[in-house]
A and B are shown apart, each in its own frame.
Chain A
Amino acid sequence: MLDDFFIRALIAGLGIAIVTGPLGCFVIWRRLSYFGDTLAHSALLGVTLAYTLEFNIAISVFIISSLIALILIDLQKRTNLPGDALLGLLAHSSLAVGLVVIGFLTFIRFDIMGLLFGDILAVTTDDIFIIWIGGPLILIILKLIWKPLFASTVNYELAEAEGLNPDRAKAIFTILMAGIIAISIKMVGLLLITGMLIIPAAMARNISSSPQMMVIYSVIGGLLSVILGLLTSLEFNTASGPSIIAAALFLFILSLLKIKQSIKLKN
């Protein structure tokens, strides 16, 4: 039953889940889910670039997503438009430009569905290599900036006043977000990456009472989602991304039951 491609997908998926767990917690805490969407949508442009220049997909997605993040920060300073309008502007225009460029590249056959929703068959040993090098690197950097990032998430002025440099931590975190999108795009697909970040973390929130606990449950939830999702994908021949996200949703619903119980206990 365990074909070669399935093992590859599993190893890749587990590597991604370990990283999306902690990052997803910050996405929820800092209310960045729409920001994650914007970076993910811009990834399509990165993919087209990679195909055109015959370049590594992960690296070119990382570059384009970081660039979009920088443009966003610049626009926030220069215009009076609200943050969510700017995010929408960048998300949809980069998606649109990406699709237009694909239209021009008639000489390359694109698997649009695979790009949008992920494709386990496409995972190569190179991808596994990138995930298991890039993933731990992201985690190490996150660990290093944890204190200022978390403190400024709780209260920006407190972190700034007590000398933690929250602005630098925020900038580094943005780059880490671009990084996780770059390494997970093939597996989960660009429309569903934010789901992979948010849903396990949301499930974890329901059952945790401290930030550390939430991070740990979020990782466990992500790992279970990948295993469950990939097994379903193999069994019923469904797309890998949606299957993983559906599994995460299933776990989230289970966590709601726990909330219901604790509310009953309180009353």
Chain B
Amino acid sequence: MSSNQNILVKLKQAGLRINNKWLVKDVSLQIEKGKIVTLIGPNGSGKSTTAKIALGIYKKINGEANKYTNKVGYVPQKISIDWTLPLRVSDFMVLTENLKEEAINDALSLTGVLHLKDKNLGDLSGGEFQRVLLARAISKKPELLVLDEPVQGVDFTGEIALYELIKKISDELNCGILLISHDLHTVMSATDHVVCLNGHVCCSGSPIEVAKNNEYKALFGEQASQILSRYEHRHDHIHTNEGKIKKN
């Protein structure tokens, strides 16, 4: 039973049909505490829809979707803030939960945007706004983090740092993460479980398993599977305490 208690979200053949068109169909996956599940797939393959099903945003779905926690942090892919609202970063941070000043500052410094705290949300650049979105999602110390392209528009060095941060958060808070990313390098280095979508689950498993899958190769091409094999190579050993390399 102990493994069941770790389950945060469970989708069982979940799907969404709007106007007689399937946006996504037959998705089964589960997110557990301390684990990172990544959704990959081409544009329009139903990644964001699947994330929203997992979050319980859609009410009329096919199949089953169960969420076992209410401590959720969400970074949506698209967010349009209406500028009729005068909203500073500090106001945005406490949007869904009242936080102590300290928690706000900590989260903002983790994503490197503490200096923007008193700025108007409308005055931020795309990358800055993305960092604020991520800070808001992690500031409430959620049990479940759903990150839909969380580093879009962030500069290259920032991107790597933020992915490292996401990995660190998953370890420290022991929270489950559902990540949507188009960056295969990252997916393969930090993920426990990959779900490859193309309107339905085309394949899933550990990064290595997915990389070897023929359907995956057909979807992403040879180049993508080479990226993965390089990672496969990189991870055929572990570093032990004494600085020695130990083969798996």
Task: List residues of chain A with CB under 8 Å of any chain B CB.
Answer: 28-29, 31, 147, 150-151, 153-155, 157-164, 205, 208-214
Contacts and interface: CB of A to CB of B under 8 A. Distances in A.
Nearest to B69: A163
Interface residues of B, number: 24
B85 A211 contact: yes
23 contacts: A31-B84, A151-B96, A154-B95, A155-B76, A155-B79, A157-B52, A157-B55, A157-B57, A157-B74, A158-B74, A158-B76, A159-B96, A160-B55, A161-B52, A161-B55, A161-B56, A161-B72, A161-B76, A162-B72, A162-B74, A210-B87, A211-B85, A212-B91
B212 to A, nearest CB: 34
Interface of B: 52, 55-57, 70, 72-74, 76, 79, 81-82, 84-88, 91-92, 95-97, 120, 146
A29 B95 contact: no
The 8 closest A-B pairs by CB, nearest first: A161-B55, A161-B74, A162-B96, A163-B70, A151-B95, A162-B72, A208-B86, A160-B57
A266 to B, nearest CB: 11
A29 B96 contact: no
B205 to A, nearest CB: 27
Contacts of A150: 95
- Main SS of chain B's interface residues? loop
Nearest to B94: A147
Contacts of A147: 96
A208 B83 CA distance: 12
Nearest to B73: A162
A154 B81 contact: yes
Contacts of A31: 84
A214 B95 CA distance: 16
B95 A157 contact: no
B143 to A, nearest CB: 11
B149 to A, nearest CB: 15
Contact of B84 (A28, A155, A159): A28
A147 B91 CA distance: 12
B57 A154 contact: no
A214 B86 contact: yes
Nearest to A28: B84
A83 to B, nearest CB: 16
Contacts of B84: 28-29, 31, 205
Contacts of B96: 147, 151, 158-159, 162, 164
A133 B72 CA distance: 38
B74 A210 contact: no
B10 to A, nearest CB: 17
Nearest to B70: A163
A155 B42 CA distance: 26
A154 B85 contact: yes
Contacts of A161: 52, 55-57, 72, 74, 76, 146
Contacts of B95: 150-151, 154, 158-159
Contact of A211 (B74, B79, B86, B97): B86
B71 to A, nearest CB: 8
Given A155-B79, A161-B56, A209 B74 contact: no
A160 B56 contact: yes
A154 B73 contact: no
Nearest to A158: B74
A157 B85 contact: no
A158 B81 CA distance: 12
A29 B85 CA distance: 6
Given A159-B96, A161-B72, A211 B57 contact: no
Nearest to A156: B57
Nearest to A212: B91
Given A157-B76, A161-B57, 11 more contacts: A29-B85, A150-B95, A153-B85, A154-B85, A155-B81, A157-B57, A158-B74, A160-B55, A162-B97, A205-B86, A211-B91
A154 B92 contact: yes
Contacts of A209: 86, 88, 120
Contacts of A164: 96
Q: Which of B70, B86, B97 has the most CB of A within 10 A?
A: B86
Which of the listed residues A154, A159, A162, A163 has the most CB atoms from chain B within 10 Å of its own CB? Answer: A162
A150 B91 CA distance: 11
A156 to B, nearest CB: 9
B50 to A, nearest CB: 13
A216 B115 CA distance: 27
Contacts of A205: 84, 86
Nearest to A208: B86
Contacts of B52: 157, 161
